[in-house]
C-alpha cells in the first residue's frame, strides 16, 4: 500500500516546507476557454454565474484540465465576484465585456451584511466537496477568493477599469467608506474560505489582481493588511490552513507582504526577478510562478528557455510552477503539453 508520504499531494508538500526536485504544476485559469471541452459545456450552461452555481457542471469544469493534463492541483471553478453577489449585490457577466455590477453607494457600503451569505454560496461549497471526492489523493484542491481590494474595485466602479481610478479616488476622498467596504469583505472572505476548507479544499489562494495600482502606503492599508487579517481569521478556525497569497505586481513589497500575512506561499508575476524573490523570501514561503502567459501562447524555443530560466533560478528552493497570471483563451493546448513535459523533465 502507498504510504501517507507518497500519497500526499506534491503541492501540499511544497507548501508544508519540502523542496522537490520536480516542482508541482498548476496554472491559474487552467479550467477555461482555451479548452474545447469547456467551451462545449459553457454553451449549454446558460449564464456564467449559472455555471458557477451549478455543482454538477462546475465540478466537471474543475476536473477537465486534471483529466487532460494531469496537473498536480485542481482549482475550484468559480469567480471572485460570488462574494459581492452573496452579499446581495447585483452581479452579471456580459458576453465579450466581462462582469458588470451596480456601483455601490456610500450608504450601501455601511449597510452590507454577510448574514445568509453561505446559504447563497451553498452550491459552490457543494462543488468543493464533489471535486475533492473525485480527485485522487495525490492531487490537491485549491479554493480561493478575491482579495478585498480587488473585489472592492469592481464593487465601486461597477466593472473592471485599466487603472482602478474610481477606487483610488474613493480612497482619496472618503477613506472611511473604503475602510468600511474592505472590513466587510475581510469578514465575508474569512467565512467563505473557512467554509471551503471545511468542505474539502486542501489550500486556498487569495487573488489581489489589482494591488499593483496602489502606492506603498495604500498597499499596506488596503491590500497586505486586509489579507493578513483574512489569513489570521481563517487560521483562528482552521489552525493548519494553507494559504497562498497573490499580490500581482507587488514586487517592491513582497518580503514585507510575506512577513505580515504569514502565507505559506506567494504568487509572483513575470515582472518580478526570481533571484531577488528567492534571496528575500524563499526561506519563509513557497514561491509560485512566474511564466508570462504570452510566452506560453508563443511556444517554441522561447517557451523552453523561459521554463528553464525559472527552474534554474529556483533550483534548490520551494517552487510551485505556474504562470504569472491566468492562462489566456488563445493558448494552444500543445503548448501546455510542452510546458508540462519540460518542467517534468
C-alpha cell at 189: 472572505
Bridge partner residues of 143 (DSSP): 204
Residue 68 is a catalytic residue: no
The one catalytic residue in 16, 42, 68, 235 is 42
Residue 318 within a domain: no
Q: Please give the share of the chain, as a percent, with pLDDT higher than 70.
A: 98
Express each pLDDT in 177-212 by its tens digit: 999 999 999 999 999 999 999 999 999 999 999 998
Which residues constitute the domain of residue 58? 36-287
**Helix and strand totals (H; E) in the chain:** 19, 9
Which pLDDT score is estimated for 2?
A: 39
Residue 158 within a domain: yes
Express each pLDDT in 296-309 by its tens digit: 999 999 999 999 99
Residue 305 within a domain: no
Which pLDDT score is estimated for 5?
A: 47
Radius of gyration of the chain (CA): 19
Residue at grid coordinates 446559504: 119
Model pTM score:
0.95
Residue 342 within a domain: no
Express each pLDDT in 239-290 by its tens digit: 999 999 999 987 768 999 999 999 999 999 999 889 888 988 988 999 999 9
Q: How do beta strands 91-94 and 140-146 pair?
A: unpaired
pLDDT of 1 > 80? The answer is no
CATH number of the domain residue 164 falls in: 3.20.20.210
Residue 299 within a domain: no
The total number of structural domains in the chain stands at 1
Residue 60 within a domain: yes
Residue 159 is a catalytic residue: no
Residue 103 within a domain: yes
Residue 42 within a domain: yes
Residue 34 is a catalytic residue: no
CB contact at 8 A, 14 and 266 = no
Q: Which residues contact 239 (CB under 8 A, 6 or more apart)?
A: none
Q: What gap in Å lies between CA 213 and CA 219, rounded to an integer?
A: 9
Give the phi and the psi of residue 202 in degrees, each rounded to 5. Answer: -90, -25
CB atoms within 10 A of CB 57: 19
The one catalytic residue in 13, 29, 168, 212 is 29
Q: What gap in Å lies between CA 219 and CA 297, rounded to an integer?
A: 31
Which pLDDT score is estimated for 6?
A: 61
Amino acid at each position: 500500500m502507498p504510504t501517507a508520504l507518497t500519497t500526499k499531494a506534491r503541492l501540499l508538500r511544497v507548501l508544508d516546507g519540502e523542496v522537490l526536485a520536480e516542482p508541482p504544476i498548476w496554472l491559474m485559469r487552467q479550467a477555461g476557454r482555451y479548452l474545447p471541452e469547456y467551451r462545449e459545456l459553457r454553451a449549454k450552461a446558460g449564464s456564467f454565474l449559472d455555471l458557477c452555481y451549478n455543482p454538477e457542471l462546475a465540478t466537471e469544469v474543475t476536473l477537465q484540465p486534471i483529466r487532460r493534463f494531469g496537473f498536480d492541483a485542481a482549482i475550484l471553478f468559480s469567480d471572485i465576484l460570488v462574494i459581492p453577489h452573496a452579499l446581495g449585490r447585483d452581479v452579471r457577466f456580459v458576453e465579450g465585456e466581462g462582469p458588470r455590477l451596480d456601483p455601490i453607494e456610500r450608504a450601501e457600503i455601511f449597510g452590507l451584511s454577510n448574514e445568509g451569505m453561505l446559504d447563497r454560496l451553498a452550491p459552490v461549497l457543494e462543488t468543493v466537496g464533489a471535486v475533492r471526492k473525485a480527485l485522487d489523493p495525490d492531487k490537491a484542491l485549491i479554493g480561493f477568493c478575491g482579495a478585498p481590494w480587488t473585489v472592492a474595485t469592481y464593487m465601486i466602479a461597477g466593472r473592471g477599469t485599466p487603472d482602478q481610478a474610481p477606487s483610488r479616488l474613493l480612497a482619496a476622498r472618503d477613506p472611511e467608506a473604503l475602510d468600511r467596504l474592505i472590513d466587510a469583505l475581510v469578514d465575508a472572505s474569512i467565512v467563505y474560505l473557512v467554509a471551503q476548507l471545511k468542505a474539502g479544499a486542501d489550500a486556498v489562494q487569495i487573488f489581489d489582481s489589482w494591488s499593483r495600482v496602489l502606492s506603498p502606503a495604500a498597499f499596506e492599508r488596503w491590500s497586505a493588511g486586509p489579507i493578513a487579517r483574512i489569513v489570521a481569521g481563517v487560521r483562528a478556525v482552521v489552525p493548519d490552513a494553507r494559504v497562498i497569497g497573490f499580490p500581482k505586481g507587488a514586487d517592491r513589497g513582497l518580503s514585507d507582504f510575506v512577513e505580515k500575512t504569514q502565507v505559506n506561499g506567494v504568487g509572483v508575476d513575470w515582472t518580478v526577478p526570481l533571484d531577488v524573490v528567492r534571496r528575500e523570501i524563499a526561506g519563509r514561503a513557497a514561491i509560485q510562478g512566474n511564466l508570462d502567459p504570452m510566452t506560453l501562447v508563443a511556444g517554441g524555443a522561447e517557451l523552453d528557455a523561459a521554463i528553464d530560466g525559472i527552474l534554474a533560478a529556483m533550483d534548490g528552493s520551494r517552487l510551485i510552477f505556474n504562470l504569472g497570471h491566468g492562462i489566456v483563451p488563445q493558448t494552444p493546448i500543445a503548448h501546455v503539453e510542452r510546458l508540462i513535459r519540460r518542467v517534468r523533465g
